[in-house]
A and B are shown apart, each in its own frame.
Chain A
């Protein structure tokens, strides 16, 4: 059996405007980077088990655009797009991200790939541009930052489960 499952993604909310996702992979970073930047590979993993990726455009250069589209099993189309701002092959990607269902809420994503002993730690930092958009996301039950509330929840909501 291969070491397929390398861990669990950790999602934290470091500030009121950011989301941080961290995950370790049992693969060298150039492969994780390749999986993140190659359309045919993005199409295989990005929708998880929730649907099918119908389009994955990647113009991998600074100023180039990306647009990924998936259709959920319930027929709901989810599309994101953005522009690459910074690219350091196998190490770091900085790009904007817009969820097309809420086009005013542009975020900036910083994705880093760090390799130790053939294993890669991936971090995705999502930074929202301003409080208004953050609030919009909070109000719509989508992405948003409420670190204190989350810390608090860890203490008190567990009692409900």
Chain B
């Protein structure tokens, strides 16, 4: 199965660990690109490339402040990822809630069997 382009959506954009690191840094606040270069220990062209991908999927916004370009996070495109995990958890929760009932019956049955001296 061919991999979808990194700029398809947030799922693909954050599949790359460096881009997740960038988001972690930006989650703490707005930063100029030089800060990211220093914090990540990457060359500026690489950081810029990652930022471009993140911008294309809408996870990062940029504004000019004097001579600097300031980057900040926009978490909204992450919501589908969050929803997906939540759906997965919800499906298991529903399933386990029914299993609780089944187990109650099995327990009752075992108690009954013991009472019958079986």
Where the two chains meet, the residues of A that have a C-beta atom closer than 8 Å to any C-beta of B are: 2, 4-6, 8-11, 13, 19, 21, 23, 25-28, 31-32, 34-35, 41, 44-50, 104, 132, 135-136, 138-139, 141, 143, 146, 148-150, 152-153, 155-157, 159-160
Contacts and interface: CB of A to CB of B under 8 A. Distances in A.
Interface residues of B, number: 43
A99 B29 CA distance: 41
B4 A5 contact: no
Interface of B: 1, 3-4, 8, 11-12, 14-15, 17, 20-21, 23-24, 27, 73, 75-76, 78-82, 84-85, 88-89, 91-104, 106-107, 110
A156 B89 contact: no
**Is chain B's binding surface mostly helix, strand, loop or mixed?**
helix
A153 B59 CA distance: 12
Nearest to B12: A139
Contact of A156 (B75, B97, B102): B75
Contacts of B97: 4-5, 48
Given A11-B89, A23-B92, A139 B1 contact: yes
Nearest to A146: B14
Contacts of A19: 88
B11 to A, nearest CB: 6
A21 B75 contact: no
Q: Enumerate the 4 nearest inter-chain pairs by beta-carbon distance, A residue then B residue, closest first.
A: A48-B94, A48-B95, A27-B103, A45-B99
Contacts of B23: 149, 152, 156
Contacts of B21: 148
Nearest to B10: A149
